[in-house]
Amino acid sequence: MDSAHTEGGFTRRGVLVAGTGAALGVSVLAACGGDSGSSGTSASAGSSAGGGGALAKVADVPVGGAVSATGSDGKPVIVSQPTKGEVVAFSAICTHQGCTVAPADTILKCPCHGSTYDLATGDNTGGPAPRPLTEIPVKVEGGKVVEA
């Protein structure tokens, strides 16, 4: 018997490909299947006390724009600088179905169903999202944006 075949006639490659495809499918469904009733309040004030470190350097956040980051709890965050020196942060979890929102020029946009958010306030500005993004309290320390 050829060593590339198993008892049922499947190749090892075929089994690996099928398993990888199944795992990828579960990951995609998990990303889009968030709890629509969730408020997205995953980060809490004072969470940087656990040693979470900086979300971003202020110099890396464009004025009138935003960057993606990871919070101290490991969840996705958006850090925005609406005007020079003003820094705000929001949960990057879309309030529609839990996909990850990303900066898109002067707005924040969900790639799954097209919801859009204001990068200065987190307010939803379009699409099916029922609520604004949850604000995450931040402060600037030594030129870095940290959770407050």
Instruction: List where CATH 2.102.10.10 sits in the chain.
Output: 47-147
Span 47-147 CATH architecture: 3-layer Sandwich (2.102)
In this predicted structure, what is the pLDDT of residue 65?
Answer: 98
Angle among Cα 119, 121, 123 to the nearest 5 degrees reads 90
Q: What is the mean pLDDT of the chain?
A: 77
pLDDT tens, residue by residue, 119-141: 999 999 999 999 999 999 999 99
Residues with Cβ < 8 Å from 90, sequence gap 6 or more?
77, 78, 80, 108, 117, 122, 133, 134, 135, 136
Name the residue type at position 121. T
Percent with pLDDT over 90 in the chain: 64
Q: How far apart are CA 104 and CA 108, in angstroms?
A: 6
pLDDT in tens, 49-88: 334 589 999 999 999 999 999 999 999 999 999 999 999 9
Rounded CA separation 103/119 (Å):
8
What are phi and psi for residue 90, nearest 5 degrees?
A: -140, 155
Quick check: 3 pLDDT over 70?
Answer: no
The pLDDT tens digits of the residues spanning 11-26 come to 554 544 444 444 434 3
Q: How far apart are CA 44 and CA 62, in angstroms?
A: 25
